[in-house]
Structures are given as structure tokens and as C-alpha cells.
Amino acid sequence: MKLVIDIRLINASGIGTYLKNIVPSILDIFDQVIVLGNTKEISRFHWNNRVEIIEFNAKIYSLKEQILYPIVVPKCDIFWAPHFNVPLLPIKAQKIVTTIHDLNHLAGVSPISMVKKKYAELLFQNAVKKANLIFTVSEFSKKELLKYTSVFPNKIKVVYCGVNKYFFQNTINDTDLKLPSNYILYVGNVKPHKNLMILLKAYCLLSKELKSKYQLVIIGKKEGFITRDKQIDNYIKSHNLQHQITFTGYIDDLDLPKIYQEASLFVFPSLYEGFGLPILEALAAGTMVISSNASSLPEIGGEAVIYFDPNDHTELIQKITKYLEKGTDNSFLRSQSEIQLEKFTWEKAIENHIQGFKIIE
């Protein structure tokens, strides 16, 4: 059996984490694995000598990638697109597998142009029509697939993501990043659907005492997103928060556990997530989580998380204040955290992927 994987998103945040954890463990079930992507990037991974690399650097979602797919995808038994940009034109694959993480482009949470939305609709409908198997990462995303596309339900296999083991381990590794002594943590990019503005508003209106004691640390890319929330910089400047908020930019994966572990509180205000991996990372690191109650997040956080309405910054202020100022009994939340984390392991995810690939062989 020959498998071809489009691996161009190997270093992206969410999908990259997914690929890094799944790909190495499925290589042995195929006679040959070919990956499409950047040779230099892929060569850094310890498993690079177990795959054949075809150089493919066309931009994701571009017309160029669609034109080149039939040329670069060799004859194979299975072609796996770990995103919804399945080839529009015929390729030399007997079967097609795709992973659809969420349907944010169709749900209308983030503002995009009508042209981009129509193109996204085309790609999603093409993906569900051509795929023999569709992996998705939550029951919420499965429902969204059924809501927004003409997919056949029996094509869908829900496979939860996992948490890397190093988030569970107490780390003494120092990081070059200079962080405050006490801080509220946010991890993610600044796309509008991430809803960072609601957190900024809540932080701004915290008491002077809390703001003087706790700074806000924002981990993730700030630049380069088509749908970047341009209000953020203006809000920070107009409310004189520059010295109380740290934007770290990109952080190496090995530094993240320590950053989570040392946070006083983790807040995840997102309006729309197919999965919500940062919630699990925070729980694994032993950090208390306040999360939006939107989309898949209650499915992932279970009863281990404190929830709030992502459209109500006043409720978020109350939840943050109650936890940081008045204190709460965390014993129930911590016991639920252990139960919840047992549901989400990469070992289970890998086994479910292997089962899926074997079903369509």
C-alpha cells in the first residue's frame, strides 16, 4: 500500500501539532509513504528517512496548488489531505482521505469576503464528495459537517486529538523569554474568532489591585493573518495597557509546558473551535482554565473547566476576579481534569487513524 500525504502544514499551529503526532506512528502500516512539502522543513524530523519527499511549496488554498496537484501527486493507493483543500482536479489516487478540523469558513464567525467564502464552500463540498473517509476532531465538528455540507454521515470518523506527555511533567528547563512573576495566560493567534478582544476588555476592567499583581501574557503569532483583528493594537494603546500585556510571538513547543505551568490562570475566550487543544494543555500542566462555552469547548473541557459566555466580558471579569481574588475550591475541578485528560491521548488518536486507514484499504 502506498500513502501520499500533503504535509505542507506540518509547522502550522493546530494542524501542525496534529500532523507531528500522527504521521510518525502510521508510517509502518504502509509499504511506502510519500509526503508533499518543503524538503528542508521535513528533513528536520527524525522520521524523514522513512518517507520519500516531493517538493511542493504552493500556497494553501491557492489556485496554484489546485493546478499542480494532478502533476505532483503520484499514483498511489491513498492520498491524505489533512485539511479541507482536497484536489479539485482528478489525481492518481485510488482512495482519498481528508481531515476536516472545523468549518469556521462556513459558519461565519470570522469575517471573510464573499469570494473567499464561495471558494471555501467549493472546497468543502469537493472534499466531502471525493473523500472515501473523513476524519474530524470532535462531535461538534461532525455536526457542523452535517449542517453545512452534503456529506454522507457514514464517511465521518470522529477522532479526538491528544496532549503531548511533556505537558504533564514538571519542567525545570529555563526559557529565554522574560515573563512576569504572576500572569494570566492566553495561547492562540489573533484571528477575530479567537475573541481576544473580550479578554482584553475584561482585563482592562479588572480592579487596579488585580492588574498590578497579574499581567496578561499572550502566546502566539500576531502578524500575517488575513483576518487579523486590527482593533487589538488600538485598544491596547487607547487604554494604556502596553506595559501590562506581553505579546511573545511564536514560542518553541519545548517552552510551552513551563509557560503553562507557571501561569496563575489560563483563559480561552474563543467563539469557534473544532477542538480546543490549549484547554487540554493547560489542564495537563495543572493550570486552572476559564473557557468560553461556545462550539466544541464544553465537549473538550468537560466539568474540569470554568465556563463563561464569550459575548459577555462582565461575566468573564466576575469569573477571573472570583478565582484570583476570592479563591475557589479547586478539588472538584482537578479531579475532573484527570478524568477528562484520560479521554484525549495521542495513542488513542493514532489507533483510530490506523483503524480508519485499514477500513478503506
Q: Among 247-261, 297-311, 331-345, which is the least confidently predicted range?
A: 247-261
Single-letter amino acid, residue 310: P
Mean pLDDT of 270-283: 95
Mean pLDDT of 289-307: 97
Work out the pLDDT band at 227, boundaries 50, 70, 90: very low
Task: Give the model's pLDDT for residue 25.
Answer: 95
Within the chain, residue ranges assigned H as helices are 14-26, 39-42, 63-72, 104-107, 114-130, 139-148, 196-204, 208-213, 231-238, 256-262, 277-284, 297-301, 313-321, 331-341, 346-359
128-154 core/surface letters (b: 16 or more CB in 10 A; e: else)? bebbebbbbbbebbbebbeebbebeee
Work out the pLDDT band at 172, boundaries 50, 70, 90: low
Single-letter amino acid, residue 175: T
CATH topology (fold) of 165-341: Rossmann fold (3.40.50)
Q: Among 11-25, 34-48, 221-235, 290-304, which is the least confidently predicted range?
A: 221-235
Which residue ranges make up each domain of the chain? Answer: 2-162+345-359, 165-341
Task: Give the model's pLDDT for residue 221.
Answer: 66
Mean pLDDT of 118-129: 97
The pTM of the full predicted model, rounded to 2 decimals, is: 0.91
Report the DSSP pairing between strands 265-268 and 76-81: unpaired
Work out the pLDDT band at 224, boundaries 50, 70, 90: very low
Residue percentage of the chain with pLDDT more than 90 = 76
Q: Among 111-115, 283-287, 349-353, which is the least confidently predicted range?
A: 111-115
Task: Give the model's pLDDT for residue 264.
Answer: 95
Q: Do domains 2-162+345-359 and 165-341 have the same CATH topology?
A: yes
Grid cell listed for 220: 502566539
C-alpha to C-alpha distance for 191 and 201, rounded to whole angstroms: 16
Task: Give the model's pLDDT for residue 110.
Answer: 78
Q: Among 16-20, 90-94, 174-178, 243-247, which is the least confidently predicted range?
A: 174-178
CATH topology (fold) of 2-162+345-359: Rossmann fold (3.40.50)
